[in-house]
Structure 1
Amino acid sequence: MMAQKVRTTFIAIVVLIVFLASVYHYLVRHQPVISAQDPLLSPPGPLYPNPKYAIRHEDAPNHESNSRVNSAVSILLPAWEILVVVSTETPLPLDSNAYTCLFPNNDTSPARPAGILPSLDRNLFKCDLPVRLRRRLPFPQPILTKSPENPPEIKSPASALLRWNFLVYDSLTTENDVILFVKGVNNRQGIHREPSEFRCVFGDDAIHGVRTAVKSSLQEVFRCPRPERTGPVDDGEPVKVSLEISDQKLVMPSVAYYTPARKIALQEPKSPICACTLVYNAAKFLKEWVVYHSEIGVQKFFLYDNDSDDDLEKVVTELVDHGYNVSTLFWPWPKTQEAGFSHCAIHANDSCAWMMYMDVDEFIYSPNWLNSSTPSDQMLPSLLPTGNHVGQVIMNCYEFGPSNQKSHPVLGVTQGYNCRNRVENRHKSIVLLNAIDASLLNVIHHFKVREGYRTKNLGMDHAVVNHYKFQAWEEFKTKFRRRVSAYVVDWTQAVNLDSKDRTPGLGYAAVEPKGWAEKFCEVYDNRLRDMTRRWFGMEAPSGNHMAWQI
């Protein structure tokens, strides 16, 4: 009797396993249904998504396109946002409601002007994927129209949206090579696929495009030689460039273009020290950061605008009008801090010698400056070594807490936040651009330097970075929306709750923890506050404003 029960149970388990396997294989063969309940859901996908969303050789057109840079293409970003990339023949309107995204099922979504893609001077719009279209793959591309009631003809079937998690999204051309910025290949920090697995492809035609070998493939940066002037690159006009996964004969979707470099001789010497940072809605912090660091020796500021929707452009204009050298580059790509820093290292190399990589809530100073009555533009250069093959200096950070602030301090972060954790954490860098390794590999604001150069830690008695990280809750909670690094934990997901990247005790929801205003307060540190008051106005006769309140 017992043996019969065991046999019956065993048979039932086998039948259940067979049934579950059948269900699994059915789901694999069919397009998945995706829940639309979570508006922050980023479309799922494996390392190499279904090939129908890429371009295989056998599917490629056997001709050259005559609309290399004029056709619109749309990319599905996280949070169901769609980035519509169009030619400059579709100008960014003064009226933010001038355009509409029209989908094949006649659903519509307002199209908002987003900016200009600098790599090819293309205009960008954003709209949301309608809820009804979020449930099944493939997600269709919209048409950008001014007249949804009288729309242009929609081709059937509609092309699928490009997926942000599998895309060549930007490129740079140097004197010797082409650099591609690619999402969806090296997805984990420290794990990189071999360059021999890929080739760069130049041209819209995936079969007959010009190919060159990939020489470096670290993080989201891929480098390959420039193509010889044959085939689609003969005329010197912009031509699409992408990445081929060789063993699959699969060319990745791309919105990047290659233009043969036109070397222009610089009329001015390089600035000794520049600063580069990725910013999102940092307008209220920017003046203080620029004014302070300009006075101690930073000559140029490069801001990679990560799709801000505050008054950043207005603030930058005001700073430029006051004589500060500040430029912005629109960088709409989510979670691409490392790639943005790599891009900046190449973009600024002709105009800067050293580059400070630091966020706008971080301020560097030396304890040796604390008794100085005024700032000097030689202060920061004095921290940099001369000779000895040092290609990068590292400075440790003190992390400041909310310091009982309930809102952004009117006089600035250096004045409002004065209580911090006791132990230093993380570090930031100033790097000699010519010393950066060809791979452009960087992690947490410091780069790998090439052979022959070394990195030097300046020590807390020589240089300190005040990181005003845990600010008043209304400011801090915006970090839940966007984490710029490609490799840090996503705070909105209930995973890796013990990760050091998470804020202690914060959890994964944008809900103010109890006692937030008093958290991260172990040491009162007024050194930078008192020094900047003396330098920038609070100890002047008026005594009621700072120099950055311009």
Structure 2
Amino acid sequence: MAYLVDEWYEYHRRVGFDHLIIYDNNSTDGLGMLFANRADLEIIRWPWRRSQHQAYTHALLSTRDRCVWTLFSDLDVFIFPRSSNSVRSVIQNQASSDIAQISFKLLRMSHENLVECSNTSITETYIHRKRLPDAWDKNPSTAVITSLAVPMHRIHEAQLLKPYKSIILSSDIAYGVHYSDRCWKQYFFQKIIGRTGIKDWIVPRTVSILHPSENWQKLSKEATIKDIEFRDFKRKIMRMPMPTPAIV
């Protein structure tokens, strides 16, 4: 996943995130060494299998005294503030005295039927999706005031202390763009090895690393909508200067 970090980091710092934390679950591409000297990017080695729940809980607890809002998301998700150039502004405008959690719906982009993953920008490469509402993921990415949450995270949302509430943002205001399945090879390895190191797929005889399954190819055929709104927004944002690190 190291090849995703630069684009993800450069973009999110420019849209209002002060500090980024990556939980490294046994990566083998030198992630920790490649990004070791950035004051606003923190990489935490997290070697345990099937431990995403525990990683999110650790982040919830460890950011309580360092941050006001913490967003829980994946490295292949880009938050798109449609009503502003800043995710920070979106959160500030939507939050009120009793709102302590804001969820961003996720729009899943197509894998473009690629067998090999491209080394090019993912926001430039993946520009097709299904029709709405089928393009929306089941689960959101969520920003939380961690000091107002019960100290145990539930992956896609936190449990809040009473009387605080959660809201789901309208996609007219902001949403996340999800580049989950970027090519068949990446999808294949995730399935046979497992996303957390445990095999979770019995490979059919008609399928191999060079021969995608029919179901996987069908996903791309259904993604006929060309959507470049976020790509164009990201191009504009990347012309902005990088903010000075605010949290060390």
State the Cα deviation string for residues 179-235 of structure 1 (Å, max 9, x = none).
xxxxxxxxxxxxxxxxxxxxxxxxxxxxxxxxxxxxxxxxxxxxxxxxxxxxxxxxx
Partner of 1:512: 212
Does 2:148 match 1:435? yes
State the Cα deviation string for residues 484-523 of structure 1 (Å, max 9, x = none).
499xxx63259xxxxxxxxxx9x99866214738345132
The structural deviation recorded for 1:464 is 1.3
State the Cα deviation string for residues 251-277 of structure 1 (Å, max 9, x = none).
xxxxxxxxxxxxxxxxxxxxxxxxxxx
Question: In structure 2, what is the Cα distance between the partners aligned to 1:428 and 1:484?
Answer: 20
* Structure 2 counterparts to residues 449-468 of structure 1, below 5 A: 449-468=160-179
Question: In structure 2, what is the Cα distance between the partners aligned to 1:520 and 1:429?
Answer: 28
Q: Which one of the candidate residues 456, 474, 483 is aligned to 2:195? A: 483
The structural deviation recorded for 1:531 is 1.7
Partner of 2:245: none
State the Cα deviation string for residues 334-366 of structure 1 (Å, max 9, x = none).
111011100111122221111111111101112
State the Cα deviation string for residues 399-422 of structure 1 (Å, max 9, x = none).
111124443333311111011122
Partner of 1:339: 54
State the Cα deviation string for residues 123-178 of structure 1 (Å, max 9, x = none).
xxxxxxxxxxxxxxxxxxxxxxxxxxxxxxxxxxxxxxxxxxxxxxxxxxxxxxxx
Query: What runs of 5+ residues in structure 1 fail to find an aligned partner?
Result: 1-281, 370-374, 495-504, 538-546
Q: AA paired with 1:467? A: H
Question: In structure 1, what is the Cα distance between the partners aligned to 2:159 and 2:236?
Answer: 38
Partner of 2:127: 418
Q: Which one of the candidate residues 532, 537, 540 is aligned to 2:234? A: 532
Partners of 1:286 and 1:360 within 8 A in 2? yes
Partner of 1:329: 44
Partners of 2:107 and 2:177 within 8 A in 1? yes
Question: In structure 2, what is the Cα distance between the partners aligned to 1:492 and 1:509?
Answer: 12
Question: In structure 2, what is the Cα distance between the partners aligned to 1:357 and 1:406?
Answer: 29
Partners of 1:392 and 1:431 within 8 A in 2? yes
Question: In structure 1, what is the Cα distance between the partners aligned to 2:20 and 2:153?
Answer: 22
Q: Secondary structure at the match of 1:334?
A: coil
The structural deviation recorded for 1:452 is 1.1
Q: Secondary structure at the match of 1:393?
A: strand
* Structure 2 counterparts to residues 150-549 of structure 1, below 5 A: 282-317=1-36, 320=38, 324-369=39-84, 379-384=86-91, 385-422=94-131, 423=134, 424-425=136-137, 426-438=139-151, 440-443=152-155, 445-480=156-191, 481-484=193-196, 491-493=200-202, 512-514=212-214, 516=217, 518-536=220-238
- Residues 536 and 406 of structure 1, relative CA distance in 2, 3 Å threshold: farther
Q: AA paired with 2:158? A: F
Q: AA paired with 1:419? A: H
Question: In structure 2, what is the Cα distance between the partners aligned to 1:391 and 1:301?
Answer: 20
Partners of 2:115 and 2:212 within 8 A in 1? no
TM-score by length of 2: 0.82
State the Cα deviation string for residues 229-254 of structure 1 (Å, max 9, x = none).
xxxxxxxxxxxxxxxxxxxxxxxxxx
Larger radius of gyration, structure 1 or 2? 1
Question: In structure 1, what is the Cα distance between the partners aligned to 2:19 and 2:78?
Answer: 16
Question: In structure 1, what is the Cα distance between the partners aligned to 2:109 and 2:129?
Answer: 4
- Residues 477 and 355 of structure 1, relative CA distance in 2, 3 Å threshold: same
- Residues 401 and 491 of structure 1, relative CA distance in 2, 3 Å threshold: farther
- Residues 315 and 520 of structure 1, relative CA distance in 2, 3 Å threshold: farther
Q: AA paired with 2:51? A: T
Q: AA paired with 2:185? A: E
Partners of 2:81 and 2:175 within 8 A in 1? yes
Question: In structure 1, what is the Cα distance between the partners aligned to 2:32 and 2:153?
Answer: 30
Question: In structure 1, what is the Cα distance between the partners aligned to 2:125 and 2:66?
Answer: 35
Question: In structure 1, what is the Cα distance between the partners aligned to 2:14 and 2:121?
Answer: 16
- Segments of 4+ moved more than 4 angstroms: 507-511
Q: Secondary structure at the match of 1:437?
A: strand
The structural deviation recorded for 1:441 is 3.8
Q: Secondary structure at the match of 2:143?
A: strand
Partners of 2:56 and 2:153 within 8 A in 1? no
Partners of 1:405 and 1:416 within 8 A in 2? no
TM-score by length of 1: 0.39
- Between Structure 1 and Structure 2, the one with more helix by share is 2
Question: In structure 1, what is the Cα distance between the partners aligned to 2:148 and 2:222?
Answer: 37
How many residues were matched structurally? Answer: 229
Q: Secondary structure at the match of 1:297?
A: coil
Partners of 1:367 and 1:462 within 8 A in 2? yes
Q: Secondary structure at the match of 1:352?
A: coil
Q: AA paired with 2:88? A: P
- Between Structure 1 and Structure 2, the one with more strand by share is 1
State the Cα deviation string for residues 267-288 of structure 1 (Å, max 9, x = none).
xxxxxxxxxxxxxxx1000111
Question: In structure 2, what is the Cα distance between the partners aligned to 1:436 and 1:305?
Answer: 24
- Residues 485 and 381 of structure 1, relative CA distance in 2, 3 Å threshold: farther
- Residues 337 and 520 of structure 1, relative CA distance in 2, 3 Å threshold: farther
Partners of 2:207 and 2:213 within 8 A in 1? no
Q: Secondary structure at the match of 1:363?
A: strand
